[in-house]
Amino acid sequence: RAAEWQLDQPAWSGRLRITARGSTAFIRLEDKTSGELFAQAPVEQFPGIAVESVTDSSRYFVIRVEDENGRRAFIGVGFVDRGDAFDFNVALQDHFKWVKQQSELARQDPDQGPKLDLGFKEGQTIKLNIANMKKKEGAPGNPRPRPAGPGGLTLLPPPPGGRDGGERPPCPPGPARLPGTPITDSVLSWPQPSAPAAPAAPAADAWGDFAKASG
C-alpha cells in the first residue's frame, strides 16, 4: 500500500526512462539534471515480479532494481501526475506486445504456406492480341513512300549545301547528249520556227580572212 510510505519525504526524486535491448526492457531512474543513473530495473516479463502496482493507487508501483553485481532490492516509485503513470504502463505493454509478435513470426515456417505454381500445364497456351500494334516508319516490310516525278520516275531530294539555300526543281528525264552534238528535232519535242535558213557561205569565203593574213 502506498499509504504506508513516507510520500511527503521521498528518499530520492528524478526522472524515469524506459529503454529496451532485445526482448528486455529497462526502467532507469536518472538524475533529472545530469542524467546520472541512480538505479535500474530490468524487466523480462510484464506483468511480473519486476513491476507491480500497489493496491491503493494507480500512480505508485513497486519495482525490483538490480546492480552490476546482481544484487536486487524492491523499492517503491510514484508519479506526481496520473498521466505519467498511464504512459509508464502503456510503454511497458507496447514493448512486450512487440516481443510477442516477434516470437510468433519466428515460429512460423515459411514452407508451410501455400505455394504459387506459375508453370504452364500440359497443352496450355497463351493468346496475345497484337492487332493494335503499328509498324515503325522505315521498318522492314513497310517501305517509306517517296514522291513520284513525271513519267512515273522517283525523284530524290536535292543534295544539301546549295549556294542559294533553296531547292532546285528536278530536270525532266531525256536522252543524254554528247559534247558538240547538235540538237535536232528528234530530241526536242517542241516545233522549230518555219523561217527559211540562210544559204551557207562557200568554204573559200569562210577562210578568206585567214588566207590574206601573213604567215
The answer to whether the pTM exceeds 0.85 is no
Check residue 112 and give its pLDDT: 57
CB atoms within 10 A of CB 25: 23
Which fold would CATH assign to domain 2-107?
A: PH-domain like (2.30.29)
The predicted-structure confidence for 77-125, as pLDDT tens digits, reads as follows: 999 889 999 999 999 999 999 989 888 888 876 555 556 667 777 777 7
Give the whole-angstrom CA distance, residue 171 versus residue 158: 11
Spatial CB neighbours of 82, under 8 Å, sequence gap ≥ 6: 58, 59
For the segment 11-30, the average pLDDT, to the nearest whole number, is: 92
Domains in the chain: boundaries: 2-107
